[in-house]
Amino acid sequence: MTNAAVPAPRTAAALAARRQKTEAALQRVHKAIARLRREKAQVSVAAVARRADVSRTFLYDNPEARAAIASAMTEAGERRPGMLVEQDDEREASWRERALNAEEALKAAHAEIRTQRTRMGELLGQVRDLEAEWTEEAIQRINTENTALKQRLRQLAADNRTLDERLKAARSNLRFQDRRVADLEAQLASPDG
């Protein structure tokens, strides 16, 4: 059993690794704020999170990071309050326009969905109507007739092959007879015969 006051070695290692990760993230946050100040860019939670490669949640949850961003934003606000108001107005107008566009697109999507649902309902009704017209008896009768027609087709195809073979044989015999008649005529016509 371990004492609650003394963490186990694995737990201590995990806590140390977590502290190191937090310290590295804080260093990146301070560097990002300094870089934003040098570039005279607006300091915001989103900009610092992007530049420092940390989450916004980290910036809000960590008191040191939150204080650093708040002081940088206050400092930047004192230097250029007019620009921030303008940027806020532009940003709000942009968001308002995007919201209106999204609302319009949503209305169009809902209208299209209603149209598609109506069409699907009509088509399903037509399918049901078609299925309802055929009773089990009628389906069985049609299947029986279809089978009989297939058998009749096979029989006719066999008969057709037989007749075709007979026709070929008759033509062959006719050609042979024509040659024989021609030979006999030639013999009769010849003076020797």
Give the model's pLDDT for residue 8.
74
Residues of the chain under the 50 pLDDT cut: 1-2, 80-82, 84
At residue 29, what is the residue type? V
For residues 100 and 106, give the distance between their C-alpha atoms in angstroms, rounded to a whole number.
Answer: 10
For residues 119 and 123, give the distance between their C-alpha atoms in angstroms, rounded to a whole number.
Answer: 6
Nearest to 29 by CA among 37, 40, 16, 75: 37
For residues 94 and 76, give the distance between their C-alpha atoms in angstroms, rounded to a whole number.
Answer: 23
Give the model's pLDDT for residue 86.
61
Q: What global pTM score does this model have?
A: 0.38
Contact 69, 47 (CB under 8 A): no
Residue 190: DSSP 8-state: S
3-state secondary structure of 6: coil
At residue 88, what is the residue type? D
